[in-house]
Amino acid sequence: MEKPARPASSCSVVLVEETKRNPLLLSSGFAAANGSLAGGGVAGVTGQDKRGGGAIGTGPGYQERETWTRQMDFIMSCVGFAVGLGNVWRFPYLCYKNGGGVFLIPYLLIVFVGGIPIFFLEIALGQFMKAGSINVWNIAPLFKGLGYASMVIVFFCNTYYIMVLAWGFYYLIKSFSSALPWSTCDNEWNTPNCLETFHHLHCSNASLANATVGGANLTCADLADARSPIIEFWENKVLNISSGLDQPGRINWELMLCLMAVWVLVYFCVWKGVKSTGKIVYFTATFPYVVLIILLVRGVTLPGAYNGIMYYIKPDWSKLEEAQVWIDAGTQIFFSYAIGLGALTALGSYNRFNNDCYKDAFVLALINSGTSFFSGFVVFSILGFMAAEQGVDVSQVAESGPGLAFIAYPKAVSLMPVAPLWAALFFFMLLLLGLDSQFVGVEGFVTGILDLFPGKYYHRYKREIAVAICCLLCFIIDLSMVTQGGMYVFQLFDYYSASGMTLLWQSFWECIVVAWVYGADRFMDDVARMIGYRPFPWMKWCWSFITPCVCMGIFLFHLVNYKPLTYNTVYVYPWWGEVIGWCLALSSMLCIPVSLLYKFFRAKGTIRERWAHLTSPVWGPHHLEYMAPDIGPLSSLTPGSDDNKVIIFESVM
């Protein structure tokens, strides 16, 4: 029998469903039988429905979630986060390395079978559950370890990624000088082997008559150990690098001050939440495009630019037969789309419930991949000029990662007229590209943490304190990366903590949980409720079959072809360094199985009962309002109006 309505004096609200008019609502499991109301929902809620369903959670008063001031704030934040350094310094090199224009075939294929489906899944999941990276998995509480795993990954990523910004900020400051400090060999950090200009074409007769170091004529054989001033500036001045991981050395105080300045900047970008973040990204996400266009215009007018661009796009069809090309394409997608970090989920959670996130996913994917391809023309036009100046092949100057940003490109701008201007412009762009990715990553981490504390823990400055603690903790860890052995620590974090393996593992389980535990058709229905129409079935097929296979295939390839970490192909990390690296990787990957086993064995009942209970969604208060289209808002419901209706939830407001 139905529970009798409480007297009006008790201020009760009975949420009901018209089963004849809205059968789809019951099929999606919004009755108490198929899930429970989140503890952060409506106060004083207990009981079961007439079908003998699970208990409805209890908890403190519901605090309404922030939303973006305008939907464009969300778009710009996603662009700022996903479009980062990887688009500029990694994609162009991979395109050149893997057959030029031919690389776009596996790249675009994996975009549609892996990148866009998971990108859309994470945004839609955050928008649907209105929660950060941990509580979003209330959709299947047994697998909440996915949320903890993404928090660990994004924390590590926030910790080491900012070092690139600190280096970029350091180079930006050094650019404001009449002569770039990395363009000459007469500085205190230079060695006797430093050589400013060395044209390889002059070595055809095994001698270089005009090249002198320290006043002595040198042959090409003698010059084998000669070093460029930019490499010496990077290794001897910026890094002041030691001989190995076991030699941390002293702290570089200049670099530490740069690191502190960047963290302070990140803090004041994030501390007030999405209302302030959504405004800042309008500048940090768009200005790099202005700089890229300026650099492209300058680049294509330089001698040798044409040869560089041809190296970038010239197709080599034989590359399609190599497995590594497909693996590189898949890994790049997961890196550049920022999948598996939980930050996209956090950004989506601030959307309006009825936002068309399906359309947004395709627009953002187009911007992301388009930026990557466009950046290649900028980078390789400059590298073509650099190769022409040095008289070498473009392949000898092509770099990726920090090698491109802090060695190849600074060398190129040092050869241009008005070099300090172009250097300052490039490093300012580098700083902005990384800055929005950094503070959105911090936003995603803080959102996940704050979602764990319900309304009764409300504090006026709760967000500000949480952001400050996060930034301070990361800064303390970062101090190990501004020492003389800091580069070795940075590479450990980069290679293991947020590597391709951890992101692929995370993405695989995301697809499995949504498609097979919660139900792909069920989630497609939920998306249809939000956006007003069902997405193309391709998404469901990808979540269920194609994307998990792609993720696991690339993951196993990485595992089988694992190689020990090295620095500059010369220094091999000690065994205990690799152990530390694997601990960083496993700290996130093990969150999923450990959390699953802990929850499962702590539960009571038979195996079937435990599974049924632990995979029943925990609904948030917003679902009760938004998911019943023929019922007005909570405030407009009449208590006790139960004519020809089935009671779903009873709550005392």
Feature table: binding site for Na(+): 80, 82-83, 87, 336, 368, 433, 436-437
Q: Per-residue b/e over 23-37, b at no fewer than 16 CB within 10 Å?
A: eebbebbbbbbbbbb
Cα separations in angstroms, 309 against 219, 297, 360, 373, 603: 33, 13, 31, 12, 61
Burial class (CB in 10 A: 0-12, 13-18, 19+), 509: buried
Q: How far is CA 175 from the centre of its chain?
A: 29
User: For the chain, how far is it from start to end, CA to CA, in angstroms?
Assistant: 23
At a CB cut-off of 8 Å and minimum separation 6, what does 371 contact?
83, 87, 289
Rg (the chain; Cα; Å): 28
Q: β-strand 646-652 against 12-17: which pairing, if any? A: antiparallel
Q: What is the DSSP letter of 251?
A: B
Q: What is the DSSP letter of 195?
A: -
* 604 vs 624: CA distance, rounded Å: 28
* 467 vs 443: CA distance, rounded Å: 8
Assess contact for 464 and 271: CB atoms under 8 A: yes
Assess contact for 314 and 100: CB atoms under 8 A: yes
Report the sign of the C-alpha dihedral through residues 268, 273, 276, 281, in that order. positive
At a CB cut-off of 8 Å and minimum separation 6, what does 528 contact?
534, 535
* 292 vs 285: CA distance, rounded Å: 12
User: Residue for token digits 């925990």?
Assistant: 618
Residues at the binding site are 80, 82-83, 87, 336, 368, 433, 436-437
Pure H helices in 499-590: 500-512, 520-531, 538-541, 547-560, 575-589
